[in-house]
Structure 1
Amino acid sequence: MTNNRTSPKVEEFLSKATKWKEEYVKLRAIVLDSHSELIEDFKWMHPCYTFNGKNIVIIHGFKEYCALLFHKGALMKDPAGILIQQTDKVQAARQIRFTNIEDITALEATLKAYIQAAIEIEQAGLKIDFKQTAEYNVPEELEQKFAELPALKTAFEALTPGRQRAYLFYFSEAKQSKTRVSRIEKYVQSILDGKGLND
């Protein structure tokens, strides 16, 4: 299937796939057939499809399902009620999940319409209105640690907004104060070193 719109790396990925192989091949055919200007790339270890250099949709697989992931899915209308937000942390992307080839085949026309809609969002230059760091609550336990260790507050404020949000979300999602305290203690040095939660 190699041509100027497809990627040899995706060919290699598909040739090595054991789980979801048939589903990947079908999803790939649907994506490429949905718009003549979509270009296949290989990013984040998965087939990714771009339009004018912008990421539109990714094909990826998990243990329980494979999926199409739309980068700006939060902006898409969902008349079929099939877009899924993976976790509360995910602000922009939305998935459509599949567990077998029959599901994909049954939704082929719908999938092409959703891909077209995602391209139109990109063409219109629409942007995701990301939740700002200031909208996240700073846990009381972190405020206390900042008071004890002013250098920590300085280092935290020097982090990128994305890193700050990741820490605030991770610290705040613990239900018990002692858990929040232990999470904060664990990452004090990382914050002082200018590192993010996953660095």
Structure 2
Amino acid sequence: MTGRNTNPKVDEFLSKAKNWREEFEKLRKIVLDCELTEDFKWMHPCYTLEGKNIVLLHGFKEYCALLFHKGALLKDAFGILVQQTENVQAGRQIRFTNLQEIAEMETILKDYIYQAIEVEKAGLEVNVKKHTEYTIPEEFQNKLDELPSLKTAFEALTPGRQRAYLLYFAAPKQSKTRVARIEKYMPQILDGKGLKDCTCGQSQKMPYCDGSHKFVR
């Protein structure tokens, strides 16, 4: 790992990390050894090739992970790629719970990273499900029919934002819960904001890939 490849924002991120600091530092070295450019996006270290996102480091309570932006296109010879939820179409994680695990997998991890680089160089894209293919919950369709302004505002949102709302509204089993969610976020839709947007217009925190690799913001 050479200093010219590092990003000071990542240095700051690591200095403040309360969990997984050693694991992040090891993963950082492994990724930079693959000659990717270090960036800082969605409040996490992100590694790119000619401006294209390849892999990102992130951590949770139970594990830290490498997130491959086009992981669905990788050949998973070791069966280590994880689809975080059924709605994540493109991204795939490799998860870790300790430093030794990462060290033992270093060669394998580099193989996956190089494979991701080749996928990007080849210009391959994940064949994602379009937002228009998602079912609109009945409760939300009723609101769209009742309020033309809401329909106009919703249709003006980016496909990623539309998809995020539809998945969120459809998730509860009970109709009253779906209605409550819809009513809570109607003002935000009318303001042209996405599910994860704060009132200031910035993302509350890094969401997971919405299937387009651009992340819902």
TM-score between the two structures when normalised by the length of structure 2:
0.84
Alpha-carbon distance in structure 2 between the residues aligned to 1:42 and 1:143: 38
Alpha-carbon distance in structure 1 between the residues aligned to 2:190 and 2:16: 42
**What is the DSSP-based 3-state SS (H/G/I as helix, E as strand, rest coil) of the residue aligned with 1:49?**
strand
Letter in 1 for 2:180: S
Cα deviation for residue 31 of structure 1 reads 1.4
TM-score between the two structures when normalised by the length of structure 1:
0.91
Per the alignment, residue 41 of structure 2 pairs with 43
Per the alignment, residue 104 of structure 2 pairs with 106
Letter in 1 for 2:125: K
Counterpart pick for 1:178 among 173, 176, 187: 176
Backbone CA RMSD of aligned residues: 1.7
Per the alignment, residue 79 of structure 2 pairs with 81
Cα deviation for residue 2 of structure 1 reads 4.9
Per the alignment, residue 16 of structure 2 pairs with 16
Per the alignment, residue 69 of structure 1 pairs with 67
% same residue: 69
Deviation string 1:99-121 (CA, Å, 9 cap, x unpaired) is 11111112111101000100000
**Max Rg structure:** 1
Deviation string 1:74-119 (CA, Å, 9 cap, x unpaired) is 1111111111122233222111110111111121111010001000
**What is the DSSP-based 3-state SS (H/G/I as helix, E as strand, rest coil) of the residue aligned with 2:4?**
coil
* Distance change in 2, residues 1:17/1:181 (3 Å): closer
Letter in 1 for 2:24: Y
Structure 1: 5+ residue stretches without partners: none
* Regions of 4+ moved over 3 Å: none
Bigger RCO of structures 1 and 2 (CA < 8 A, at least 6 apart): 2
After the TM superposition, which of the residue ranges 8-17 and 58-67 deviates more from structure 2?
Answer: 8-17
Structure 2: 5+ residue stretches without partners: 198-217
Per the alignment, residue 149 of structure 1 pairs with 147
Alpha-carbon distance in structure 2 between the residues aligned to 1:157 and 1:111: 41
Cα deviation for residue 67 of structure 1 reads 0.9
Per the alignment, residue 127 of structure 2 pairs with 129
